[in-house]
Structure 1
Amino acid sequence: MDIKTVILTLAIGSFVFGTILILFQYGKEPSQRIPFWVTAKFMQGGGSLLLYARDATPEFIGVLVANCLLLSGCAYEGWAIVHITGRRVSRFLHVSTAAATMAACVVMLFLEPSKSIAVSFSLHTLFYALPGWALLKHGGEASLLRRGLGWSFCLLALIFGVRAVWALVEPAQSHLFFGVMIHQVMLPAVYCMMLISGFSMLLLAKETSDRALRTTLREQKAILETLPTGLAILRERIIERCNPALEAIFGFAPGTMAGTSTACLYENAKASEQYGRIMYEAIVNRGSFAGEVAVMRQNGERFWAWVQGTSIFPERAQSYAVFSVTDISQQKAQQQLLQQQNQELEKAGQARSRFLKTVAHEFRTPLGLLASSTDILDRYWERLNTAERGEQNSRIRSAARQLSELTTAIISHNQAEGGSYEPVLQQVDLTAFCRTVAGEAETVWSNGHTLHLAIGDDCGSAVLDETLLRRVLQNLLSNAFRYTPPEGFIALRARRIEGQLVLEVVDSGIGISEDDQQHIFEAYYRGSNTGLRRGLGLGLAIVREALELLRGTITITSAPGAGTTMLVTLPLAEMET
């Protein structure tokens, strides 16, 4: 094979290889493509083709353009290899090398042929030595392919360097087409070496890509294994791959979740189908899904999870997707608790608003009585007879008693609600105590009522807080008198049963509905059938608070129009006399 045929073959091979590279990199992301490589091959092919047709072209084209293309192609191929090795080629180096190459080619026009060839092959030597150095000068563990390719470029650089020296030593034999022995050996060797190096570069590019892929996979695995959020890749709603966090969230043993259906993560098949349809419809229509999902652990425990999903391949969104799962059970519980607290605060605010209105109304009546009675006594004292004066004084005492009751109720409730009351334990004669409180209640609240008192002989005495027990009985009896007609029946019963004091306050009044019984011990709550009767809605709340301090209980038996029975049970620390 003559030299011209070898040069033509190099040109054709470069164009074919450049075309293969175009196909190899077609459709890849810009970051995955190898820059300079395609350009290098077409430049080398163009330069070799002009070199082949040198005898048929002007000297200007044969020397300047051909050399510019060949040298630039070698430089670009070197940059491609430098890029494959993980180094960066700066724009300044790229531009300055191109400018220097063109300047050298222009200078070669004015040199003797042998010196022009020496300069050209010296530049080839440099451009092949640099990528060889980049391949061999590797900080990490270099593969056999990388080392082999590096030595191949170094050998090419050596061949071109020898040719440059030969051009200066034997200028008479420097013409490319003279067919001397060095050309007969060099060009086929260059052809073979470039062919080998070209395909080796393809393999090296793949090796570099595989290494980057392995590194990425290791990084992804490390991220997946340490990420606290559960991640899963689903194919046809089967868990193809997941991280340990997802297995921990759903209570699966390590390595046992892959291959299972997502249906096992829901309470039942209906929930699985419903949530699956919602999530995949969102992914298909909007590209992603995010929302709260009710799921179930392997032990049957139900909980709420925040699920985000997206498709890996948009064209296969219905069958191939990735999801992240975060357990939000605590956040959900806190949210529900916060909502409950807000509702209770709103309810308490409404109750306090009603309470203030009621207090204003309740205080207005006795204050008005005090004002009017004192005004009458002040203006008409001399004109009033004894009976009239007594009537006004009775009205004043009644108003003062009402104010005292209201004030006592408010203070008692605030003490219990604020936790400022400290129980005072003392020995109490239960029989005498019950008789005293019953008598006081009948004196203060009776309006023609009949109070029946039934105290068992076994009541004896006990150690307890007399003030708290008085609050309990006073408020229960007050309600009985207040909501029972004058002709009605009221009874207080007391007995001791197995170390407990049992008190019953029974009346034949208006009764309490079932709905009201659920709220009757709440502060400021008043029954729906109380009508215009006075009251703050604090009496039974004070009873409840006092019983909590006494560790007692109370139950209600009542119905509208059928009277009410309040049953109080108190544990006693016995100190009988």
Structure 2
Amino acid sequence: MALLYRFALQDVIALLLATAVTAFALWGFVELRLLALWVAWIVVACSTRVLLYQAHRRLKPGPAAARSWESWYSGAGAALGAVWGVCILFAFPSKGDLYQILVPSMICTLALGMPSALAPSPKAFASLLVPILAPLIALLFTNGGFNTSAAMLLLVFTGVLLALYLGANRNLMETLRFGRENVELAKRLHEVDRSLAAALSELRVIFESAAVGLAMLRDRKIARCNDAFAHLFGYGTEEMTGQLSRIMYASEESWAEAQEAANRRFAEGQASVSELELAKKDGQLFWGNVEARALDLRDPNAGVILAVHDITPRRRAEQELLTALQREKELNEMKTRFVSTVSHEFRTPLSTILSSAELLRLYADKLDNKEKLDLLNGIEDSTKRMRRLLDEVLTLGRAESGVLQLRPSQIALSELCNKIVHELCIGEGKQHTIVFDDRFDRPTAELDENLLRHILNNLLSNAIKYSATGTTVRLTLERRDDKVVLTVEDSGIGIPAEDLPHLFESFHRATNVQNRQGTGLGLAIVKKSVELHGGTITFDTKVDAGTQFIVELPLQARAKAQAA
């Protein structure tokens, strides 16, 4: 209804002007009373239209009231037509000239019937037209006989009026339909615009509040990023916006490689997901999971969405797990080597002991004293070897578990070294020349005698074992500032380069030892003993030329141990 009657007042001014012009044109042709009555009727009709329009605009009725308001407009039109018909019948009952009545009536009807604002529907138009035409038709028969020319004029007038009305009404209906469609389209556009604005607002909130680092790249530049993304790299949001994505990477090479890998995935029609080492503003590196999706796979520079997670804790946990697994593997290998080594090292002396004991038991009466003594010495040597092996295993076990402790005391260091050299000279080193070079200028040193024996016995035994018979093994004892320095040198087989990183590992033996006996525990025990003193051990070796081990121990091991 609002669309239907929105033109209700737009022609009022034109109507009043037309009335004034018509009244002037009819002055002298139409009687003054009729002309005044016609003008008055025009004013009443316009006032009625104004009142109806004002009431409609103020009440703003909905679509449900359209039929009711059509009745109001139709009633108003019928009342106006009836008023004019009454005026025609009673103002000029017999003496009036028919043409004086007919001409103003037709002009009045054109003025008030044609505007679609007053008669927007056929019902309203008929309600207006019938009361006007009815008295005119009656006058054709009552005013001195039937007037044929007036009847023809009235018929033509009515036909033209009806044709004009139908055309005008059709145009009005089309205009109103298009207006209604435009209003509905505008409402839909408004709703779509509101929905789009709400969706954009939601996306903006999600983008800004996401815990994941999100960024939009265009032409390899950061067009936009959220706070989480900027925080990952140690920048502010505004600081990162507009920067090349190069600032995310530690080097030009890593940036180029990441770009190349992402473009390959885009060319395959897929997103790029990778784990990369990224760089923060302060240069600190961290591991990030980078997921890149191109808005247009054919042109990645048009836009790429990045999602970045900090996976440094996960990578660290994975590395720790791998380290633990590697350590577990090494421990299993160590266990296997331990069982193999110990079983092998025990088998030989046990065999010697069993065979010697069996010979003594079965053939004691057939052996002379020298042969019996040799067998007893063999049993004794084998027993000492087994005891030394057990001692090494137990010592290393205590060291690994933290049970082995430093117990320093004042010892005559030169005397102890000389005693150990003498024991080796009459034992396993009797086929070598062992030289002790004593340069120590102190009567005593505060060291752990038991651990010091482990150090010297293992180093000297290895020097003897891996040197050719008849060669010289040298032990040097000296003081450098507040440290005791022990140097063991030999001219043996040396240590290959590939074995150096594992030299002090338990059960590790160099690849060039061939069939020489040993457990691989000696140097591990030496290192543990040196570390308990708070000292250091270094070496210099060359394959087939010999090896030199240098042990530095503090003169006061107790102070070092407590400080550690």
Tell me the TM-score range normalised by the shorter chain. Answer: 0.5 to 0.7
Secondary structure in 1 aligned to 2:239? coil
Q: Aligned residue for 2:516?
A: 533
**Structure 2 matches for 1:50-129, cutoff 5 A?**
none
Deviations 1:499-536 (A, max 9, x none): 11111122232222333333221111111221111001
- Greater CA radius of gyration, 1 or 2? 2
CA gap of 1:457–1:314, structure 2 versus 1, over 3 A, is closer
**Structure 2 matches for 1:454-473, cutoff 5 A?**
454-473=437-456
**Structure 2 matches for 1:290-301, cutoff 5 A?**
290-301=273-284
Q: Aligned residue for 2:62?
A: 155
Is residue 180 from structure 1 mapped to residue 127 from structure 2 by the alignment?
yes
- Residue 563 of structure 1 aligns with an amino acid whose one-letter code is G
Deviations 1:21-63 (A, max 9, x none): xxxxxxxxxxxxxxxxxxxxxxxxxxxxxxxxxxxxxxxxxxx
**Structure 2 matches for 1:403-482, cutoff 5 A?**
403-482=386-465
Deviation at 1:363, TM superposition (A): 1.1
Q: Aligned residue for 1:524?
A: 507
CA gap of 1:526–1:160, structure 2 versus 1, over 3 A, is same
Distance in 1 separating the partners of 2:373 and 2:505: 40
Say if 2:73 and 2:124, in contact at 8 Å, map to a contact too: no
Q: Aligned residue for 1:554?
A: 537
- Residue 394 of structure 1 aligns with an amino acid whose one-letter code is N
- Residue 350 of structure 2 aligns with an amino acid whose one-letter code is L
Distance in 1 separating the partners of 2:324 and 2:129: 96
Say if 2:225 and 2:237, in contact at 8 Å, map to a contact too: no
Say if 1:552 and 1:569, in contact at 8 Å, map to a contact too: yes
**Structure 2 matches for 1:5-404, cutoff 5 A?**
154-161=61-68, 176=123, 179-180=126-127, 198-314=181-297, 316-317=299-300, 319-404=302-387
Distance in 1 separating the partners of 2:449 and 2:63: 112
Secondary structure in 1 aligned to 2:544? coil
Deviation at 1:366, TM superposition (A): 0.5
Say if 2:278 and 2:287, in contact at 8 Å, map to a contact too: yes
Secondary structure in 2 aligned to 1:506? strand
Deviations 1:73-94 (A, max 9, x none): xxxxxxxxxxxxxxxxxxxxxx
Say if 1:517 and 1:556, in contact at 8 Å, map to a contact too: no
Give me the TM-score of the superposition, normalised by structure 2: 0.67
Secondary structure in 2 aligned to 1:307? strand
Give me the TM-score of the superposition, normalised by structure 1: 0.66
Deviations 1:445-478 (A, max 9, x none): 2232222222235233233322222211111111
CA gap of 1:569–1:217, structure 2 versus 1, over 3 A, is same
Q: What is the aligned-residue identity percentage?
A: 29
Distance in 1 separating the partners of 2:461 and 2:59: 110
Distance in 1 separating the partners of 2:71 and 2:368: 148
CA gap of 1:457–1:261, structure 2 versus 1, over 3 A, is closer
Secondary structure in 2 aligned to 1:510? coil
Deviation at 1:556, TM superposition (A): 0.9
Q: Aligned residue for 2:495?
A: 512
CA gap of 1:320–1:410, structure 2 versus 1, over 3 A, is same
CA gap of 1:161–1:441, structure 2 versus 1, over 3 A, is farther
Deviation at 1:571, TM superposition (A): 1.2
Distance in 2 separating the partners of 1:182 and 1:502: 135
CA gap of 1:154–1:427, structure 2 versus 1, over 3 A, is farther
Say if 2:353 and 2:378, in contact at 8 Å, map to a contact too: yes
Is residue 492 from structure 1 mapped to residue 439 from structure 2 by the alignment?
no
Distance in 1 separating the partners of 2:282 and 2:445: 52
CA gap of 1:151–1:387, structure 2 versus 1, over 3 A, is farther
Deviation at 1:178, TM superposition (A): 6.8
Say if 2:74 and 2:123, in contact at 8 Å, map to a contact too: no
CA gap of 1:193–1:160, structure 2 versus 1, over 3 A, is farther
CA gap of 1:420–1:457, structure 2 versus 1, over 3 A, is closer
Deviations 1:285-340 (A, max 9, x none): 22311112344334444443211122324564452221212233343344344334
Say if 1:459 and 1:495, in contact at 8 Å, map to a contact too: no
Deviation at 1:181, TM superposition (A): 5.8
- Residue 65 of structure 2 aligns with an amino acid whose one-letter code is L
- Residue 231 of structure 1 aligns with an amino acid whose one-letter code is L
Distance in 2 separating the partners of 1:434 and 1:448: 19
Say if 2:74 and 2:127, in contact at 8 Å, map to a contact too: no
Q: Aligned residue for 2:151?
A: none
Gaps of 5+ in 1: 1-5, 8-149
CA gap of 1:181–1:254, structure 2 versus 1, over 3 A, is same
Deviation at 1:210, TM superposition (A): 2.7
Q: Which moved more, 1:190-199 or 1:297-306?
A: 190-199
Which of the residues 485, 493, 513 maps onto 1:502?
Answer: 485
Distance in 1 separating the partners of 2:222 and 2:60: 49
Deviation at 1:387, TM superposition (A): 1.1
- Residue 158 of structure 1 aligns with an amino acid whose one-letter code is A
CA gap of 1:314–1:160, structure 2 versus 1, over 3 A, is farther
RMSD: 3.6
The count of aligned residue pairs is 425
- Residue 212 of structure 1 aligns with an amino acid whose one-letter code is S
Distance in 2 separating the partners of 1:325 and 1:451: 67
CA gap of 1:383–1:254, structure 2 versus 1, over 3 A, is same
- Residue 210 of structure 1 aligns with an amino acid whose one-letter code is D
- Residue 66 of structure 2 aligns with an amino acid whose one-letter code is I
Say if 2:288 and 2:309, in contact at 8 Å, map to a contact too: yes
Say if 1:282 and 1:289, in contact at 8 Å, map to a contact too: yes
Distance in 2 separating the partners of 1:166 and 1:460: 135
CA gap of 1:314–1:182, structure 2 versus 1, over 3 A, is farther
CA gap of 1:560–1:384, structure 2 versus 1, over 3 A, is same
Distance in 1 separating the partners of 2:307 and 2:494: 58
Deviation at 1:539, TM superposition (A): 0.4
CA gap of 1:465–1:210, structure 2 versus 1, over 3 A, is farther
Deviation at 1:350, TM superposition (A): 2.9
CA gap of 1:178–1:151, structure 2 versus 1, over 3 A, is closer
CA gap of 1:284–1:518, structure 2 versus 1, over 3 A, is closer
Deviation at 1:494, TM superposition (A): 1.4
Distance in 2 separating the partners of 1:227 and 1:459: 72
- Residue 510 of structure 1 aligns with an amino acid whose one-letter code is I
Q: Aligned residue for 2:136?
A: none
Deviations 1:344-396 (A, max 9, x none): 43344334323322222111100101111111111112222211111110110
Gaps of 5+ in 2: 6-56, 76-81, 83-120, 131-164, 559-564
Distance in 2 separating the partners of 1:367 and 1:181: 138
Distance in 1 separating the partners of 2:296 and 2:261: 19
